[in-house]
Amino acid sequence: MNTLDHTHDPAARSWLAAANAPGGDFPIQNLPFAVLRRRGSGEAFRGAVAIGDQALDLAALAGAKLLTGAAGEALTLAAQPTLNAFMAAGPEAWRTLRHALFALLREGAAQEAAVRSGLLPLAAVEYTLPARVGDYTDFYTSLDHARNAIRIILPDAEVTPNFRWLPQAYHGRVSTLGVSGQRFHRPRGQLKPPDAAAPVFAPCTAMDYECELALWIGPGNAAGQPIPIARAEQHLFGIGLLNDWSARDIQMWEMAPLGPFHAKNFATTVSPWIVTLDALAPYRLPWTRAAGEPQPLPYLDDPAVRGQGAFDIRLEVWLESEAARLQGRAPARLSATSFRHQYWSAAQMIAHHAAGGCGLQPGDLLGSGTISGPGPGEAGALLELAHGGRQPVDVGGGEQRGFLHDGDSIILRGWCDKPDAARIGFGECRGTVLPAVDA
C-alpha cells in the first residue's frame, strides 16, 4: 500500500501558476500519465504528464537529458508511443520518476526554463489509448447497481448468491476500445420486443452508459501463477475513467444463459489520463463489509486491504444532448457517487482474475463494473436512474431521457478532494452516440 511522502504535501506549489489554481484537476501532487501529440500535427505519439493546463512532453524531457540514473531510465520508458514498457517496470520505477518530475516542476526548481520548453497546452493536444491493450475484462462489483438493476425486472428479487463471494466479470472486446472523444454508431443486434413471438434484428432502442473506473495493469504474472492478494496492488499501474456502453434491449435477450456479446462489444471509452496509486494515497479508506455480509475467502482477504484497500474517488455523470450543443446549453448532471461504495476492491479484482491461472500482461485493462451508491441520485447507469426507461429523467431544455438518443454525449468526471490534501483530478471521459449504420 502507498505511504504519504513529500509529493503529497498540500502546500507544495509548482512554478507553473495554472497548477496552483484552486479546483484544478492536475496540481503538482497528481502528475498523471497519458499518450498524446499536438493536435493535427501527424507527429509520433509519446508519453506525457499533466501539470495544470499543460502536458509535459516526456520525449522532449528525455531529449534534454535532465534526468539520469534510475529516473532517466524510467523516463525513457514513459516517453514511448505506448506506456506498456513503463507499466511493466513496476512500482519502484513509477515512484522514482514521479519524485523526479515533482522536483523538476516544483516552485524554485533550477531547471524551470529547460522543463518549460517541453510543455504543450492541453487545449492543443490529441490523445490515443495510453497502452497497447492485450486483454480487456469488465467486472460487476457494485452491490447497489446489481440490486437496482435486478429489481427493475423483479421488485423483490435479490442478487445471485455468488455475487457476495466473488468479483464477477466477463471478457470484453479490445478492438472497439476508444479514448475520450470516441464517437460510435448505435449497434444493431438481435432483440425481442416484449409482446413479440420471435426476435428481430434491429438497431438498439435502449442505449445506456455505465460509469466505471479503468484499472490499468502494470507488471503481469505467468500463466498458472496466481497473484497473492497482499501483492495485487503492485500489479496495478493506475486508475482512469471508463464508460462501458450498453445496449440494454439486446443485452436482455442474449444474456440467457451466457454473458453479453453484441450488447457490449461495439464501444468502450476510457479517459486519456491515468492517475497513479501514489497520487491517490491520501484518499485511501478501509475496505469494509456491512454486518451480516459474507466475509471473503482467504485468497481475497488481507489485513492491508481491509485497512486501506478502498479509494474515495468521486464520480459524476453528465449528459449533453445534440439540442443542448446547438443551443449553447450546458450539459445536465445525471448522478454523482463514489468508488468507496464498491462491494469488491481493486486488489480483490486483480487477485481473483489471476487466481484460476490467467496470466495478466502490462497494459491489460480491467473495468471496475458500474459504480452506484446507496443513496438517491447515485446510480451509475440510466437503466437505474430511469427505472428501465419507464421514468425518464430531466436533462434540461424540456428534454427527457429514458435511454440515450442519437447525438447524446455522456461525460464522466472524477476527482478526489478533502480539506487536508490536494485535489486529484482524472480529467473527463466523453463519448457520443451516432445513428445506426444502415443495414
Catalytic residues: 145
The phi and psi torsions of 347 (rounded to 5 degrees) equal -60, -40
Cis amide leading into 194 (omega within 30)? no
b/e map 17-52, b = 16+ CB within 10 Å: eebbeeebbbbbbbbbbbbbbeeeeeeebbbbbbbb
Cell of 210: 455505465
> Among 238, 186, 222, 233, which residue's Cα sits nearest to residue 358?
222
Residue 434: Cβ within 10 Å count = 12
- Cα–Cα distances (Å) from 120 to 24, 51, 116, 296, in that order, read 17, 10, 9, 46
Q: Alpha carbon 24 to chain centroid distance?
A: 19
b/e map 331-344, b = 16+ CB within 10 Å: bbebbbbbbbbbbb
The phi and psi torsions of 184 (rounded to 5 degrees) equal -140, 155
Cell of 238: 493506475
Spatial contact of 387 and 403, defined as CB atoms under 8 Å apart: no
Cβ neighbors of 417 (< 8 A, separation 6 or more) are 314, 423, 424
